[in-house]
Structures are given as structure tokens and as C-alpha cells.
Structure 1
Amino acid sequence: MKSITLTILCTFLILNLGCHVSPKLDEPVNKNASLPAEFNFSSKRLRVISSIINKTKGTMSTLYGNDIAIDAAKSGNQKNTPGIELTLITWQQKPNKYWFGNNIPGKLITIETVEANQITAKVSYKCFNEHNQSLILNPADTDSRIAFILTQKPSVMP
């Protein structure tokens, strides 16, 4: 009698643990990390150049660039390159609930763009927050951010 009760209890426990609801596949899993539609990022046709993780601040960033930027990054000469277009997107890290020990992008923090004029190579810088609102930085911060973005080394690319 005791073994029948134990068998029934174990069977019920196994069935109960094995029948939990999975997340729907058609629902966005990471909505906070999405870029604002107004930014129209996909139309820019930028490709990944590098990624950056700042463990101190708990952030992760991805640097994207156009073909001119990718060629300049590979040659190590991003400064004063006409036509270069770079976008650095930074997110707050959050733990991945589906994979123990790794982090994924969480809340979007900033979108920074650096562009150089096709003819004069004059560099312009813009910084946006998660609501696609332009942020105004003081000139010293702007210069340091431009220098930081332009000095990023590319990931190993084929």
C-alpha cells in the first residue's frame, strides 16, 4: 500500500513539474532593449564593428558602421575619413533568465552617432536617449565621446 501511494505521488509530481507553460514564441521577449521606431535603424544598413562590456557600470554596447567605417576600422584609420557613419548603442545589462550566468541587453540607455561629411570629413556627433530625444553634452564630453567611438578596434571579421 505504501509503495502504491509513493508511486502515485511520484507520478503526479513528475507530471506536474513537466507541464509548465512556455513563453509564447510570437511575444517579444526583450521589449526594453528595442530601438525606437522613429530612429529608423534598419534603413541605415549598418553592420556590427565591435561590442563593448563595461562591468563597472553594468552596461553593454554595440558599435555599428557603414561600409566606409568598417573599411576604416579594419585599416585602423577611422579619424578624418570622409563618409564614415558610426552608431554606438548602449544598454543596461540584465541577467538572461533562459541561460544561467550570462547577461543580455536590458533597458536602452543611449544611441550615439558620429558622422563625417563626404567632402570635408567634418565630424558631427549626436546623442539620443531611449525616447529618441536628443541629449546635449558639454563640448569636452562631446569631444571625448567622439574620440572614444573613433578609436574602437573592430572585432575579428572575415
Structure 2
Amino acid sequence: MKKIFLIIVSICAIFTACKIDEPDKDLKRIVFDPGNLQFISTSLNPTEETSSALYGNQEALNSLMNGNHQPDPNSEFKLVTWKYHENPQYIGGTITGELLSIETLSVDKNGNISYKIQNSSEKEKIQPNKEERIQYILSYKPVVRP
């Protein structure tokens, strides 16, 4: 009788210990693939709880490193913005979540700048001022790597 009782208690302990809580199952984390673009810089907006990463080709990196607000010909920039949320695995940490937008800035060989935005979020359907966004993207300072 003791053995049967011990087996039943052990089985109950095993099944109750394996319960998996998923409080964040409605959160989606999308990974952006920059392709052949390099990481240039990042920024956070705590008010809107968003984080952004700027990617670009070598020409884009060179034009930002020179500090002039006129991009070099053949530059390509992509500013990717995510909503961030609490990391369920680490207290006080945040991780990227819903992909909100991808802003693309392209410069042709003649120096003409084109801007386009892809909104992934239903909440972010407002089209921003193109000139302001171009100046904002060109104001990024590249991170310095040792």
C-alpha cells in the first residue's frame, strides 16, 4: 500500500511540476533580416516604447561618419522600428516585439533621394513628413566599434 501511495504522489508531483505558463503568447517577435546591409546605429523612444535600428550599405556608413547631412551617391539606409516589451526571462530587460515599420532611404548615382515606408502595424498608418524623416535618418551617428 505504501508503494502504491508513493507512486501516485510521485506521478502527481511530476505532472504538476511540468506546467508551462505562457503569459506572453500573444506577443510576436519578428526578426528583421538586413541582407547585405550593415548595422549602423540604434535608438530608443521610451515614451512610445519603441526601439529602432539603422542599417545601411558602406556608402551610407561613410556619409554618416563624415558628418555631412548629404548622403553619398548609391547610399541605402533602412530604419527598422519595433515595439518593445518586457523580457519574460529577465527582470528589467526588454526585447523587440511587433515590427512597426521599415523606412527605406535610397540615393541614386545622381544624388536624388527617395524615401518609402512600410507599415506593418495597424495602429501606425499615419504617413510621416518625408523631409523630416529623411533629416532624422541622416542625423544618426554611427556606433563606434573598438
Q: Say yes or no: TM over 0.5.
A: yes
Question: C-alpha root-mean-square deviation of aligned residues, in Å?
Answer: 3.2
User: Percent of aligned positions with the same letter in both sequences?
Assistant: 32
Instruction: Identify the structure with the greater helix proportion.
Output: 1
CA displacement at 1:44 relative to structure 2: 3.9
CA distance in structure 1 between the partners assigned to 2:87 and 2:34 by the alignment = 29
Structure 1 residues 98 and 115: alpha-carbon distance in aligned structure 2, compared to 1, 3 A threshold: same
Task: Check whether the contact 1:87–1:112 (CA below 8 A) recurs between aligned residues.
Answer: yes
Q: Match for 2:117: what amino acid? A: C
* Contact 2:82–2:97, Cα closer than 8 Å, also in 1: yes
Q: How does 1:10-29 map to 2 (within 5 A)?
A: 19-20=17-18
Is 1:111 equivalent to 2:116 in the alignment? Answer: no
Which residue number corresponds to residue 47 of structure 2?
56
Q: Is the 8 A contact 1:30 1:106 kept in 2?
A: no
TM-score (structure 2 length as normaliser): 0.74
Determine if the alignment matches structure 1 residue 128 to structure 2 residue 118.
yes
Evaluate the alpha carbon distance shift between residue 111 and residue 33 of structure 1 in structure 2; reply closer, same or farther with a 3 A threshold.
Answer: farther
**Partners of 1:124 and 1:82 in 2: CA distance:** 12
Structure 2 residue ranges without an equivalent (≥5)? 1-5
CA distance in 2: counterparts of 1:48 and 1:78, whole angstroms? 19
Give the Cα separation in 1 of the matches to 2:116 and 2:36. 18
Total equivalences in the alignment: 131
Structure 1 residues 53, 43: closer, same or farther in 2, change over 3 A? closer
